[in-house]
């Protein structure tokens, strides 16, 4: 598997093979920005193995893996460039089995995401990420939210992706579920009522397959 270079690690890496246009393979690797490089690679390695096993002949594929504190994505396409392209053909949704007793989760989430998506989209070519936390319902609940786009997107395309993600995640906040996330080929939106922003720096290498 391709390892992400230490000097350029920002949760995203893209590569493209040489050759005839119709034979070129374009691939992207994407992790939550707040996880360490080794943990990102551990997650990605599992996804690569899954794709090799389940999509051996597909010209194009995308797959994700989820953990409580991170998610990662691998996608590739043969004969079509995907760098800087906003694709809307694949979304994955993951919600908690537990609900939370609250009346203002959806309203609070909408307010936070409206600010965070603008901040993330205004990032640079290396980073399009934003996060925040807040206490709501009279300080009864603590809410943690982060959003991220692949940094190859334009500001406008990042906003489009996160706007759709924020609409999709309402399926969880209306319930309301304790945590939820939606991730596409280009961005993700996630929230939880436990701290998302301090993932472990050490991990069991056996998880990497």
pLDDT exceeds cutoff 70 at 208? no
pLDDT at 117 over 80: yes
CA distance 32 to 58: 26
- Strands 25-31, 70-78: pairing is antiparallel
Q: Percent of the chain beyond pLDDT 90?
A: 74
Residue 42: the pLDDT is 87
Name the range with the highest mean pLDDT among 26-35, 62-71, 99-108. Answer: 99-108
Please give the average per-residue pLDDT across 9-31, as a whole number: 90
Residues 70 and 191: their CA atoms lie apart, in Å, by 11
* Helix axes of 155-168 and 105-121: crossing angle, nearest 10 degrees: 170
- Rg of the Cα atoms in the chain: 17
| Sheet containing 91-95: order of strands | 91-95, 179-184, 187-192, 141-149, 129-136
In angstroms, the Cα distances linking 51 to 29, 31, 41, 177 are 13, 17, 15, 30
pLDDT at 69: 78
Residue 23's φ and ψ, nearest 5 degrees, are -110, -5
Separation between Cα atoms, residue 104 and residue 173, nearest integer Å = 9
């Amino acid at each position: 598997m391709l390892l992400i270079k230490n000097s350029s690690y920002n949760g995203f890496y893209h590569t493209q093979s040489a050759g005839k246009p119709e034979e070129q393979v374009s691939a992207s690797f994407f992790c939550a920005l707040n996880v360490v490089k080794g943990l990102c690679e551990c997650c990605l390695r599992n996804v690569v193995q899954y794709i090799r096993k389940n999509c051996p002949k597909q010209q194009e594929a995308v797959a994700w893996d989820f953990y409580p504190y991170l998610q990662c994505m691998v996608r590739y396409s043969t004969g079509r460039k995907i760098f800087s392209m906003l694709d809307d053909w694949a979304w994955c949704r993951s919600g908690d089995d537990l609900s939370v007793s609250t009346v203002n989760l959806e309203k609070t989430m909408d307010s936070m995401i409206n600010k965070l998506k603008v901040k993330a989209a205004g990032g640079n070519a290396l980073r399009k990420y934003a996060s925040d936390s807040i206490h709501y319902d009279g300080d009864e609940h603590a809410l943690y939210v982060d959003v991220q786009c692949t940094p190859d997107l334009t500001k406008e395309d990042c906003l489009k992706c996160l706007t759709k993600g924020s609409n999709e995640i309402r399926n969880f906040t209306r319930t309301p579920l304790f945590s939820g996330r939606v991730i596409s080929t280009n961005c993700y939106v996630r929230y939880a009522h436990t701290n998302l922003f301090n993932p472990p720096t050490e991990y069991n290498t056996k998880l990497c397959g």
